[in-house]
């Protein structure tokens, strides 16, 4: 397996593009591209080849079941939102589910006010877990994997962060769904979408808000980045709307290289992945992130500034009633 330093050394950044306080750095691979030998979750569901369901009739908040009937593996992306069934969830990490296999996947709830069946199966939405919350959850999952051998988030903190976001952006809903925040600001998010475009052969992007890097996603193939481009952009644009400064900020020429260097220098550890490959986790006082290595290459990286503290985490493994009676 390549080191993160070796992997990042093969990446070139294009000219940054800015709109208001959000800046996007397009990322390109310099090495030859392998053929994409897996399908994407949204496509698999649309073709009737992949099904995502509750684990059983009673349900379990932190886990779902994926059945892949396709002849190829299917990629599930960290932070991708799944809607329907008993409540909406987001994926805790990127997973490559083998062909013709069933897999239990760890998730986090992003709709705390519903625990009733809306549909027998899940579908994907046009949203990802927004960047600031993704970074916190990735750090939590890394801590869970290191200390407990599981890939759980701290669900109470996911809910608390989502509630605070909804309050700041006036995006609450009867079921406290993350999607309601996106809906509330759809017009503003559309303005961001019109200002940024996927570039030919672009395999990833780093995002900065008000002059500070807030996240990075990198894929093995440009077609995958093209598929997720609008979802990633919307997720960081939502954070840009929540940022204190509405104006653009000057970007230092060292901003992205410095962030990449922090990723390369971060201590890391690896475990067998759920599904195919190796789950690589890295964290330091400055950055946190994860990478999925499979089929002799990195399929997906994500990295964020580390604003989480591992101390005090408490992980839930079954449904628990909250002090707020609207939660289950």
Q: Domain for residue 115, yes or no?
A: no
Give the pLDDT score at 308: 62
Distance CA 278, CA 74 (A): 15
Structure tokens at 225: 């980045």
325 — pLDDT class (breaks 50, 70, 90): very low
> Which whole number is the average pLDDT over 189-202?
98
Residue carrying the six token digits 């919350």 = 133
Phi then psi for residue 184, to 5 deg, are -60, -35
Q: Domain for residue 181, yes or no?
A: yes
- 64 three-state secondary structure: strand
Q: Domain for residue 81, yes or no?
A: no
Give the CA count within 13 Å in the CB-facing half-sphere of 51: 13
309 — pLDDT class (breaks 50, 70, 90): very low
Distance CA 146, CA 281 (A): 9
State how beta strands 39-40 and 74-76 pair.
parallel
- 110 three-state secondary structure: coil
Distance CA 235, CA 227 (A): 14
Number of residues in the chain: 328
Q: Domain for residue 49, yes or no?
A: no
Domain containing 222 equals 4-36+130-310
Q: Domain for residue 249, yes or no?
A: yes
> Which whole number is the average pLDDT over 32-41?
92
Single out the residue of 115, 105, 128, 125 nearest to residue 52, CA to CA: 105
Give the pLDDT score at 249: 63
Return the bridge partners of 202, or none: 28
Q: Is the per-residue pLDDT at 328 higher than 90?
A: no
* pLDDT tens per residue, range 1-14: 999 999 999 999 99
* pLDDT tens per residue, range 216-275: 999 999 999 999 999 999 999 999 999 977 565 678 899 999 999 999 999 999 999 999
Give the pLDDT score at 326: 28
Q: Domain for residue 176, yes or no?
A: yes
312 — pLDDT class (breaks 50, 70, 90): very low
The DSSP secondary structure of 210-263, one letter per residue, reads TTEEEEEEEESSHHHHHHHHHHHHHHHHHHHHHSS--S-----TTHHHHHHHHH
Q: Domain for residue 145, yes or no?
A: yes
> Which whole number is the average pLDDT over 201-220?
97
Our CA dihedral for 95, 166, 177, 228, rounded to 10 degrees, sits at -40
Give the pLDDT score at 131: 97
The conformation of residue 32, written as its DSSP 8-state character, comes to P
Q: Is the per-residue pLDDT at 149 higher than 70?
A: yes
Number of domains in the chain: 1
Give the pLDDT score at 319: 37
Q: Domain for residue 97, yes or no?
A: no
């Amino acid at each position: 397996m390549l080191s993160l330093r070796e992997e990042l050394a093969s990446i070139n950044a294009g000219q940054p593009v800015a709109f208001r306080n959000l800046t996007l750095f397009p990322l390109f691979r310099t090495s030859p591209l392998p053929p994409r030998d897996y399908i994407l979750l949204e496509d698999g569901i649309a073709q009737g080849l992949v099904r995502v369901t509750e684990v059983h009739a009673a349900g379990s908040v932190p886990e779902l079941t994926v059945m892949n009937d396709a002849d190829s593996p299917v990629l599930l992306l960290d932070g991708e939102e799944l809607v329907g069934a008993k409540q909406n969830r987001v994926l805790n990490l990127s997973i490559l589910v083998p062909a013709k296999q069933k897999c239990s996947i760890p998730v986090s709830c992003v709709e705390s006010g519903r625990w009733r069946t809306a549909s027998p199966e899940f579908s994907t939405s046009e949203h990802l877990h927004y960047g600031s919350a993704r970074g916190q959850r990735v750090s939590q999952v890394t801590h869970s994997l290191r200390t407990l051998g599981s890939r759980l988030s701290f669900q109470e903190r996911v809910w608390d962060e989502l509630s605070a976001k909804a309050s700041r952006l006036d995006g609450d809903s009867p079921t406290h769904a993350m999607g309601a925040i996106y809906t509330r600001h759809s017009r503003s998010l559309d303005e961001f979408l019109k200002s940024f475009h996927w570039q030919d052969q672009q395999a990833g992007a780093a995002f900065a808000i008000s002059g500070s890097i807030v996240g990075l996603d990198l894929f093995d193939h440009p077609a995958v980045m093209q598929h997720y481009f609008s979802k990633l952009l919307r997720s960081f644009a939502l954070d840009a709307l929540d940022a204190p400064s509405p104006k653009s900020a000057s970007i230092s020429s060292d901003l992205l290289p410095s962030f990449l260097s922090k990723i390369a220098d971060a201590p890391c550890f690896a475990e067998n992945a759920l599904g195919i490959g190796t789950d690589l986790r890295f964290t330091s006082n400055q950055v946190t992130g994860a990478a999925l290595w499979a089929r002799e290459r990195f399929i997906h990286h994500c990295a964020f500034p580390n604003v989480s503290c591992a101390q005090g985490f408490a992980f839930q493994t079954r449904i628990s009633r909250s002090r707020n009676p609207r939660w289950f």
